[in-house]
Amino acid sequence: MKKIAVVMAGGMGTRFWPRTTERLPKQFAYLIGDGTMIQNTVGRLRSIFDTDDIYIVTSENYSSVVSEQLPEIVKDNIILEPFPRNTAPCLGLTATVLSEKYPADTIMAVFPSDHVIFNMGEFYNSLETAYIAAYELSGIVTIGINPTRPETQFGYVQIKEQRGKLGSLYDSGVRYTTTFAEKPDLATARRFIDSGDFVWNSGIFFWRFDTFLESFTKYLPEDAANFKSLRKHIGKDSFRYNLEYIYRQQNSISVDYAILEKADNVLVVQSSFSWSDLGTWDELYRLSMKDASNNVIEGDVVYHNISNCLISSKGKLISAIGIEDLIVIENDDALLICKRGKSESVKDLIDIMKKNNNLRAL
């Protein structure tokens, strides 16, 4: 069974502003761990994949930063999108290009570039189960994380406790799916947890090339036809021009909406390793080591009588006295001050700055 890893790194998210911007989004930032988010992701994968079988898919705008941060990934293993069109076109392009290089039954394992994962042994065991399920059952497989709290910033998947044709894979945690749910409100998230049959959707996917391309053709027929026409240009000077032409016609849609919510061969590997998609400053605070007063302090910070705060300086001295439950992030020419529990609204702040044409720090 041949398997390859694909790391999606084209996102333009700015929820960690001012530490991240559209020019340098989250996947290329140092937020948690020893390296940048994408360096940490590829580091995990190099333990189980040959470096030659790891591919990065990103926007042309980020080509140079990918090469700078991941010098071990050769240029031919960096697949460039002309501009972002969400995950369905991203993976349609990737499958089109790589299925010309690998056999149709090759397992394509897809990983976001900006997630946090602990408990590596459990993580690798879940991946091994997913490979087998994708290969033997021709399934579209995702990793589902057993939820530990009613989280409103994650997607959910409902599973069925039914063995069916799963055989021994059922005993390894493979389940059929019934419903996909995007980020719920708190009451709905609590109902999901109480039901006991929902898991967090990790956004980590596995499929054979032939399985994915069949589903892509079924549920996105016009987009699939465009990518099929691109095949004759692979490896030629005409590829980039034709790819840009095709991308301008693509629907901007996630693979979850486009395929997983419709297909009848979607499976989940129920897993219990520690995982987060690290979507907000509040989530970073939750994951970080804290002092005796529940503070996370980074950089040049002097403080007295503070509690439950995240304060991070990249260069300038930050002084704090008598505050609690605040997030304070300094970065070059910008400063964020935010009440803890409200950092999901950073995206709204960015929209306001764009509306007011205050783009200096974006």
Residue 217 domain flag:
yes
Tell me: do 223 and 320 sit in the same domain: no
Residues 239 and 259 in one domain: yes
Tokens of 87: 């995950």
CA distances from 182 to 124, 189, 205, 217, 286 (A): 26, 10, 16, 24, 22
Residue found under tokens 């007063």: 293
Its domain, for residue 351, covers: 281-355
Does the pLDDT at position 297 exceed 70?
yes
Between CA 329 and CA 318 the distance in angstroms is 9
304 and 208 share a domain? no
Token pair, residue 191, equals 């109902």
Q: Are residues 224 and 318 in the same domain?
A: no
- Nearest in space to 255 (alpha carbons), one of 214, 209, 219, 208: 219
Do 270 and 292 fall within a single domain? no
Q: Which residues contact 11 (CB under 8 A, 6 or more apart)?
A: 25, 26, 27, 84, 113, 114
Write the pLDDT tens digit of every residue in 138-179: 999 999 999 999 998 899 999 998 888 899 999 999 999 999
**Same domain assignment for residues 246 and 109:** yes
Instruction: Answer yes or no: do 204 and 254 share one domain.
Output: yes
Q: Is 360 inside a domain boundary?
A: no
Helices and strands, counts by H and E, the chain: 12, 17
What is the total count of domains within the chain? 2
Mean pLDDT, rounded, for 337-353:
93
> Burial letters for 322-332: b for 16+ Cβ neighbours within 10 Å, e otherwise?
ebeebbbbbbe
CATH code of the domain covering residue 222: 3.90.550.10
Is residue 155 domain-resident? yes
298 & 235 share domain: no
Same domain? 249 vs 159: yes
pLDDT at 14 over 90: no
| 204 and 264, same domain (yes or no) | yes
pLDDT of residue 359: 65
Instruction: Indicate whether 254 and 295 sit together in one domain.
Output: no
Domain end, chosen from 241, 276, 311, is at 276
How high does pLDDT run on average in the chain? 94
Same-domain check for residues 91 and 125: yes
d(CA 52, CA 217) in angstroms, rounded, equals: 28
